[in-house]
Structure 1
């Protein structure tokens, strides 16, 4: 059976690495070849379990995932989002174990991340910047959970998603696909599903967002940014 060629969207997602650091011809070719070895994980299935051995790094080509911690009584905390263009399993140590689980929040497509050990500076630098971005967004998540109200948490998250999805498209968009459930949002933001529903309704009534058919529209990004003192990730700048 022939392997389908990457879609234009998948190619654009992988090109995010080229936006993080300049890549040479061989590195671009390695990324193009990697896209031909795709693996799909259905929604709600584990991509990797906490404590499992990490065998190789992968790039998310499509879909949304989350790093998770599951408690003995079934409670779940989504520690951070994993979006198209993000890396999973890029570790510096030998024989690493997964510090968290990762679950597909929607159907997810992944491909292997080319080995950067024998590449020139570009790919290794792109991976390093990708890791720095993940750390940056994790710190933002800590601040979000520790010091923000429910209203502010949702606003801050929407601005983050807008920024991250903008990095793999033609530019920041005020309308974007927002496919995760209110239950997943609650697990991500440390709230109940009821509280998430009420807060989204308040944001709509205040004329700041519109959410229809899994499409989120931010009506006034500047107002939202001022509300939560949003700071764009400077690591995107070469």
Structure 2
């Protein structure tokens, strides 16, 4: 992890008493696939819980070994930088999410992560986590199901970002954001909008100005309400039907 991450608990070499608390959102997320599944073996892979006091990038490379990061609270996204300086945001992570873990993470050269200020991150030792998953296949299956659901949702979003008009693109991203923030917590009817206009542009391929105009259009059309940095979707069922939107985490 990069400078700027501060240790809340030094858990290396022993089981920290805060381990179960630190992994609470991951447990709730994985229990969506198998309620009541025993996740206690994860305790032995726990290293520490870290907090971020500012937006912080974490640079990752395929040739290096990295600890496994789980977002306990806050928000993060993965991104790639192109030679011409452009940035593309490929995916987003809410509470309980495994960040940059699995086949999708290693398949893309130069995959990096950016954690938003105020986030808390659980750090797993990668080798001990691999051992825990190997020794308990049912736990490994839960990780696979989570990864498969994320990959299918990303593919659904990417198809829309290629083919849909700007308003539908942004609506699709907001639906994904709404789901991601709700998988391990109950944020209520009004949700935080953790991405800036630029970040939304890097995700959708739109300019900052176009994102701003499109958000206003969604509000005018009754598809979106905004209060500062919080938002609420309009008729979500109708919007999901119009976009043929599927929830891969809910079956």
TM-score by length of 1: 0.82
Paired position in structure 2 for 1:178: 193
Mapped to 2, the partners of 1:32 and 1:150 lie a distance apart of 46
Q: How far apart are the structure 1 equivalents of 2:120 and 2:172? A: 26
The CA distance in 2 between the partners of 1:183 and 1:2, in whole Å, is 31
Which deviations, in whole Å up to 9, do the C-alpha atoms of 1:11-62 show, x marking residues without a partner?
A: 234321122235654x33634983x711234544222334451323221112
Contact 1:162 1:174 in 2 (8 A): no
Question: Does residue 216 of structure 1 match 2:228?
Answer: no
Say if 1:61 and 1:111, in contact at 8 Å, map to a contact too: yes
Q: State the shift of 1:63 in Å.
A: 1.9
Select 1:11's aligned residue among 24, 40, 64.
Answer: 24
Q: 1:167 to 1:37 in 2, by over 3 A?
A: same
Counterpart mapping for 1:44-55 below 5 A: 44-51=55-62, 53-55=64-66
Partner of 2:243: 228
Distance (whole Å) between structure 1 residues aligned to residue 114 and residue 177 of structure 2: 18
- In the TM superposition, what is the alpha-carbon distance from 1:163 to its structure 2 partner? 1.9
Counterpart in the other structure of 1:30: 42
Partner of 2:219: 204
Query: How many aligned residue pairs are there?
Result: 230
Q: Which runs of 5+ in 2 are unaligned?
A: 1-6, 10-16
Structure 2 counterpart SS, 1:38:
strand
1:21 aligns with 2:37: no
- Return the offset for 1:223: 2.3
The two structures, once aligned, show a CA RMSD in angstroms of 3.0
Quick check: 1:174–1:219 contact (8 Å CA) kept in 2? Answer: no
| 2:134–2:140 contact (8 Å) kept in structure 1 | no
Per-residue CA shift, 1:83-126, capped at 9, x if unaligned? 2222134346xxx6873111224443221344433442332111
Partner of 1:150: 166
Q: 1:136 to 1:122 in 2, by over 3 A?
A: same
Distance 1:32 1:165, change over 3 A: farther
For residue 169 of structure 1, report the CA deviation from its aligned partner: 2.3
Describe the shift of the 1:168–1:103 C-alpha distance in structure 2 as closer, same or farther (beyond 3 A).
same
Structure 1 stretches of 4+ with a deviation exceeding 6 A read 6-10
Q: 1:130 aligns with which of 130, 146, 153?
A: 146
Distance 1:53 1:156, change over 3 A: same
Shift of 1:178: 1.5
Contact 2:23 2:72 in 1 (8 A): yes
Segment drifting more, 223-232 vs 153-162:
223-232
For residue 191 of structure 1, the aligned residue among 206, 227, 237 is: 206
Local SS of the residue matching 2:245: coil
Higher relative contact order, structure no. (Cα contacts within 8 Å, ≥ 6 residues apart): 1
Q: What TM-score, normalized to structure 2? A: 0.78
Aligned-partner Cα distance in 1 for 2:158–2:93: 16
User: Which structure 1 residue ranges, 5 or more long, are not aligned?
Assistant: none
